[in-house]
Amino acid sequence: MKKILFLCTHNSARSQMAEGLLRELGKDKYQVFSAGTEAAIVRPQAIAVMKELGIDISHQRSKTFHRFFHENFDEVITVCDQANESCPVFPNAQKRTHWSFPDPSKAEGTDEEIMSVYRKVRDSIKQKIKSELLTKKLVESKIL
């Protein structure tokens, strides 16, 4: 089982959605965590758009990366540019990757326009997980 940590600035939307998506899509092949350079709350909009896919992240809590700093990870993935710049080196991570997604919490407009931004970011994260983690895993298992 691969152990993955998703990092974002506040661990409130992108990293939380990534955690929920990989946990659901990767089933029992991944042990998944998320954290932030700072802790905040899990945004209700992120919870709502994940619920649209049948994924419940309402039980997930925002936390800082400090609690994971000395753990072993197969991969640490930053999902925002700010976290990528301020993220320390995780000494026990085999690989560090950066995926850049816009911050949906900065969306402006009507409630529907804001939710549309959250959906777009969610779908982009889902596609990236499928192409970068799940597809690679299938290819690696076929080679072995």
CB 92 within 8 A of CB 76: no
Q: Is 45 a catalytic residue?
A: no
For residue 13, pLDDT over 80 is answered with yes
Going from N- to C-terminal start, the domains of the chain cover 2-143
Cα dist from 138 to 8, 30, 130, 131, 133, whole Å: 27, 13, 10, 10, 9
* 22-65: pLDDT as tens digits: 999 998 899 999 999 899 999 999 999 999 999 999 999 999 99
Which residues are CB-contacts of 30 (< 8 A; sequence separation ≥ 6)?
Answer: 1, 2, 3, 4, 22, 23, 133
**Which residues make beta-bridge pairs with 35?**
7
Token reading at 70: 């000395």
Name the catalytic one among 8, 42, 46, 47: 8
Q: Is 124 a catalytic residue?
A: no
This prediction's pTM: 0.91
pLDDT grade for 99, boundaries at 50, 70 and 90: very high
In the block, which residue shows the tokens 């998703």? 6
Fold annotation for 2-143: Rossmann fold (3.40.50)
